[in-house]
């Protein structure tokens, strides 16, 4: 019983505070690999000691202390790290004597500090976001690859190269000053958005949702908004997350099965989150140079305001997607626009647009492209083509609830 209780305690602490533990270790030792390895060693030590000694009053503090000791022992044993240990002590002494710049508030969370560190300009945008998803959000490498729509092996190499770059360039693990924040912000916003996306529709597994990731993304977006209240795109991102997350309770039934937008009980949508998102949307859309998150938030708001699919303002949604395409001309935006055009002008118009995206490299392996085609072909009565498209989507889909939805649609094609 003690072993099972200890194992549950370790699992709970590590699940809830993994990213914070890694952030603290990375900030202390300046090495993501060392942070990850010693965090794992601390967990192994907890599984051995806690059944004997009992679960400590402050489990995270115990794990942090243990991991730090293991990191220092490892550095001392390795001659290659001897110089680094001396530099760490020197940097620690200097940091203690530094007086904060007037008017600059420290970032109020260790994990957010690491968000900005991973988004250092010396790293490519893809590497920045990959590191944030891997080390801050706790996604596995296959899940990060899914978020980027690239093969797992490609993403694994990208993460390794990024960590090597941090070591070789001696990129500091610190909070950026106020003059650096604007340049780092777009990458941080994108990383938070991708964390939410994985929580909104999991790339793999038995569940459609990963509420822990969605809630973590919302929490981080709130911190960013408190830190940078004048940044309109921060408000736009937070509005988008709230307006989208407001539908969470209606997106699955009691058995965990997916409920599509047209079938959702809209009375289950969180009215408080919708209202908060709408309030944030006003400053996000006010003024020149509207950003992509504010535009997406405006689209989400139109969905949230509609009583049902038929009364949704599809013409306005298409117009907003036109604006979004002008800001971010990605195939994924074009796919979403094509679906909106199908709702406004009919399935034939939408299908023509989707077929034009068939060769897009970024959508290769993305199951929602053949799934969207299948739905439009079904509406047009082109049953054989729809069945082939559903099978193509089934070959690519990751999580089980979405697989079950596609399977049900495919089965229904064979019924009178």
Does residue 258 sit in helix, strand or coil? strand
Burial of 86 (0-12, 13-18, 19+ CB in 10 A): exposed
Say how far apart CA 233 and CA 288 lie, in whole Å.
12
Check residue 109 and give its pLDDT: 63
Banded model confidence at residue 96, pLDDT cuts 50, 70, 90: very low
- Tokens 């949230």 sit at which residue? 304
b (16+ CB within 10 A) / e for 203-221? beeeebbbeebbebbbebb
The CA dihedral of 121, 127, 129, 133, to the nearest 10 degrees, is -140
Residue 286 tokens, joined: 């006010």
**More confidently predicted of 286 and 7:** 286
Domains and CATH numbers, the chain: 2-97 (1.10.1740), 110-207+215-227 (no CATH)
pLDDT digits (tens, 9 = 90+) for 184-218: 888 889 889 988 998 899 888 888 998 988 988 99
* Cα separations in angstroms, 284 against 231, 232, 290, 293: 8, 5, 7, 9
Q: How many CA atoms lie within 13 A of 150 on its CB side?
A: 14
Say how far apart CA 378 and CA 81 lie, in whole Å.
62
* Cα separations in angstroms, 378 against 258, 322, 347, 372: 19, 26, 9, 10
Say how far apart CA 220 and CA 197 lie, in whole Å.
14
Mean pLDDT over each residue of the chain, to the nearest integer = 86
Across 8-28, average pLDDT: 76
Say how far apart CA 18 and CA 38 lie, in whole Å.
12
The pTM score is: 0.78
Q: Is the four-CA dihedral 403, 405, 407, 410 of positive or negative sign?
A: negative
Check residue 125 and give its pLDDT: 82
Say how far apart CA 383 and CA 45 lie, in whole Å.
58
Please say whether the beta carbons of 188 and 224 come within 8 A. Answer: yes
pLDDT digits (tens, 9 = 90+) for 311-327: 999 999 999 999 999 99
Burial of 249 (0-12, 13-18, 19+ CB in 10 A): middle
Banded model confidence at residue 335, pLDDT cuts 50, 70, 90: very high
pLDDT digits (tens, 9 = 90+) for 367-382: 999 999 999 999 999 9
Residue 24 tokens, joined: 């603290």
Does residue 252 sit in helix, strand or coil? strand
């Amino acid at each position: 019983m003690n072993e099972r209780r200890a194992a549950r305690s370790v699992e709970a602490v590590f699940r809830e505070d993994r990213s914070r533990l890694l952030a603290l270790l990375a900030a202390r030792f300046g090495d993501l690999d060392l942070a990850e390895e010693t965090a794992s060693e601390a967990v192994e030590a907890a599984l051995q000691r806690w059944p004997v000694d009992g679960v400590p009053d402050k489990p995270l503090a115990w794990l942090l202390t243990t991991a730090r000791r293991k990191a220092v022992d490892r550095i001392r044993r390795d001659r290659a790290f001897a110089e680094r240990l001396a530099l760490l002590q020197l940097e620690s002494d200097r940091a203690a004597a530094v007086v904060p710049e007037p008017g600059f508030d420290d970032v109020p969370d260790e994990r957010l500090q690491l968000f900005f560190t991973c988004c250092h300009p010396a790293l490519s945008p893809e590497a920045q976001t990959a590191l944030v998803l891997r080390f801050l959000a706790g996604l596995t490498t296959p899940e990060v690859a899914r978020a980027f729509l690239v093969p797992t092996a490609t993403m694994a190499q990208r993460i390794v190269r990024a960590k090597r770059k941090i070591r070789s360039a001696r990129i500091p693990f610190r909070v950026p000053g106020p003059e650096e924040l604007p340049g780092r912000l777009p990458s941080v916003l994108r990383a938070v958005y991708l964390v939410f996306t994985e929580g909104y529709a999991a790339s793999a597994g038995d569940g459609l949702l990963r509420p822990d990731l969605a809630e973590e993304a919302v929490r981080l977006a709130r911190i960013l908004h408190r830190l940078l209240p004048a940044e309109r795109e921060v408000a736009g991102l937070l509005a988008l997350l709230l307006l989208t997350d407001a539908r969470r309770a209606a997106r699955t039934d009691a058995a965990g099965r997916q409920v599509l937008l047209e079938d959702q009980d809209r009375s289950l949508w969180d009215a408080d989150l919708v209202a908060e998102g709408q309030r944030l949307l006003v400053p996000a859309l006010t003024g020149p140079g509207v950003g992509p998150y504010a535009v997406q938030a405006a689209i989400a708001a139109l969905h949230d305001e509609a009583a049902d699919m038929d009364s949704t303002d599809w013409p306005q949604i298409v117009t907003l997607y036109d604006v979004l395409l002008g800001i971010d001309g990605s195939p994924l935006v074009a796919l979403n626009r094509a679906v909106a055009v199908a709702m406004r002008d009919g399935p034939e118009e939408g299908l023509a647009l989707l077929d034009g995206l068939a060769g897009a490299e970024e959508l290769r392996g993305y199951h929602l492209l053949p799934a969207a085609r299948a739905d439009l072909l079904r509406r047009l009565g082109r049953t054989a083509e729809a069945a082939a498209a559903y099978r193509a989507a089934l070959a690519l889909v990751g999580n089980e609830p979405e697989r079950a939805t596609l399977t049900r649609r495919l089965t229904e094609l064979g019924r009178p």
